[in-house]
Structure 1
Amino acid sequence: MSMVQHAPPDGGQPFGGTHPGGGAYDAQRGPAGPARPVNPQRATRWVWSLVGAIVAGVAVAGLARCFVGSAAGLWVDELAFVGSERGRDQLEPISHVVLSVVSVPFLVVAMIAVVAIALARRRWGDAARAVIVVVGANLFTQVFKKMVERPDLAGMPSLDNSLPSGHTTVAASVSAVALLVAPRAARPFVAILGGAYTAATAVATMSLGWHRPSDVIAAIAVVTAWTLLIMVPGSGRRADGFPGSPGRVAASLVLGGVAIGGIAVGVVTLLTTLAGVDLAATYTEARDAFDGAGLLLAYGGSAAAVVGCAAASAWAQLLARR
């Protein structure tokens, strides 16, 4: 049946027409008001999430290839690992406190807590995404670790592959899902706190000699990839507010500054250490070629890179979460 507009007897607005104010008009309900403005970033959020997930995934493969599969990477990683012995006695008590909470029960309790928060807020999708991130990232870390073989090289101690770090994956995944289910107003604070917790856990594993720098950076990248990838399906829905709140801008500046600064220090340290490595030397000769200051620089610079990567991960997730 065709729809025909008829003018009312008094010559007013046609039934079913347009209200003079610009909105839709209904004969029974009256004017609906002007059209609601659409957030222009709604259409691009999924692109940010997808590109970030791809970059993080490539980083995991690249770290394994460069720092486990190549002689130069193995040497640099090993020298930073040896450098972690410097000051270990002073940092050991703090490191044990940080790592004492990282366990399977802690992961389960944290996952139950974030799911409960999401359900209380009626965010059913966020609850499902939190479970996928925690389970997926931690299972992937364990499987990937078994798939990568660490070669024996020039007298270097023969050890099983430890990339990615399981402890760092747990901490980073808990931080990620906390941000995922947090109310919008709390996200800037949660992002900074989560980045700090991830960085503290990662550096603690290094300071105790449990992991090398590449192990913990790879773990951060694993969680980042899973988190951003799982955000893609929900990134097309309307954002729950515009992104320019003062708290969010401040958090972005802090996280971005730490990320850029830390990674820059790490890159400079990497190049400096690599320039001093003799790939033809034996393990003992290569180690003795670096004095205490050189080893401390390798460790300190890599720790700065780890802090920068943790900040970059939290920064990317905050921007993708809107």
Structure 2
Amino acid sequence: MNTHAASHRSGPSGRVVERISAWPFLVAALISLAGLVLSYRFFVETATGQFIDESALVEAVVARQRIGTQTAQVLDYLPATSVVLATLVVLFVTLARRRWKAAGIAIAAMAAANLSTQLIKALLPDRPELGVNTLALNSLPSGHSTLAASAAAAVFLVVSPRWRPAAAFVGGSYAIVAGMSTLINQWHRPADVVAAFFVVAFWTALAAHVVMRSGSRWNVWLGSGEHWASRRWWTALAALLAVLALASGALIYSSVMGAEDTSTTSFFLVGVCLIIAVGYGLTFASTLLVTLPVRRRSFR
């Protein structure tokens, strides 16, 4: 893998096209890996993290009661449905635009993310006993959330640059709702969902560089005003929602810091805010990661 920013080659029209550096993508992958490790270290290996995580899971029953059993059951189908929707979109783009390499890379990344999640879950030891009433069996990362997020990432990778801002936001929103559904239905704790997002982000970052290097002919930026799907407000909205969720979660948690011995419904909201903040934060970062390089290359 060539990481030199000054590497060039001839484009389809004979003009010189600057190759995209691998370093931003490698750094993004390492940051995602660090996020995965930190999620495990705090929410599994510390008493405070375990208490927050487990309290959110226990209190999810309140949300389930409020939205109704039937709605909760519908939410439970979201991860599997995402695979069907992503397959249709990827298949359409592949056939219509002849992006066979991009489709293969996207599918490989999706498979790698889901395989990694299952391996991590199987290899990690049981949750340590830290005085928190919780099941010992490790459930991190969430397989359901990995499935939904990786399906959205596959679509994100195969669509053209003008579609990526919108595809990232819509796909990220779907993955977030799917992740929240696993919490509401008490399948997974918030940290399980967040860890799954980091696993997908890791493989997406690596795959994105390969897609952009192998598909330089169609990875061309035509401007944020060229198409409604490429408007800047998609990225700005993701960033805004991430910041609002992070701030809300911090405020809610600070209001119950002195009452950690008695669980309240606030911890469920903290868990939801955590999922939203990380989900939209990674959506924002992923969009910048793939749009900024093609912008610089296209405008030179």
TM-score by length of 1: 0.74
RMSD between aligned alpha carbons? 2.7
Question: 225, 228, 231: which is aligned to 1:248?
Answer: 231
Q: Which amino acid aligns with 2:244?
A: G
C-alpha distance after superposition, 1:262-312 (max 9, x if no partner): 1233344455555543xxxxxxxx3xx24xxxx222111220221122112
Asked whether the 8 Å contact 1:267–1:305 carries over to 2, the reply is: no
C-alpha distance after superposition, 1:148-168 (max 9, x if no partner): 221234261334111111111
Question: 59, 66, 72: which is aligned to 1:90?
Answer: 66
Larger radius of gyration: 1
Question: Structure 2: how far apart are the matches of 1:109 and 1:300?
Answer: 29
- Does 2:33 align with 1:57? yes
Structure 1 gaps, min length 5: 1-34, 278-285
Question: Structure 2: how far apart are the matches of 1:190 and 1:296?
Answer: 33
Question: 81, 94, 98: which is aligned to 1:122?
Answer: 98
Identify the residue that residue 286 of structure 2 maps to in structure 1. Answer: 317
Asked whether the 8 Å contact 2:253–2:266 carries over to 1, the reply is: no
TM-score by length of 2: 0.79
C-alpha distance after superposition, 1:100-124 (max 9, x if no partner): 2433x96377447514523431223
The offset of 1:140, in angstroms, is 0.6
Q: Which amino acid aligns with 2:24?
A: W
Question: Structure 1: how far apart are the matches of 2:235 and 2:87?
Answer: 26
The offset of 1:36, in angstroms, is 6.0
Between Structure 1 and Structure 2, the one with more helix by share is: 2
Which secondary structure state, in structure 2, belongs to the residue aligned with residue 183 of structure 1?
A: coil
- Specify whether residues 275 and 221 from structure 1 end up closer, same or farther in structure 2 by C-alpha distance, changes over 3 A only: farther
Which secondary structure state, in structure 2, belongs to the residue aligned with residue 232 of structure 1?
A: helix
Question: 129, 142, 148: which is aligned to 1:165?
Answer: 142
Which secondary structure state, in structure 2, belongs to the residue aligned with residue 85 of structure 1?
A: helix
Asked whether the 8 Å contact 2:117–2:146 carries over to 1, the reply is: yes
C-alpha distance after superposition, 1:79-115 (max 9, x if no partner): 2222222232122432321222433x96377447514
Identify the residue that residue 150 of structure 1 maps to in structure 2. Answer: 127
Identity %: 29
Identify the residue that residue 248 of structure 2 maps to in structure 1. Answer: 265
Question: Structure 1: how far apart are the matches of 2:235 and 2:172?
Answer: 12
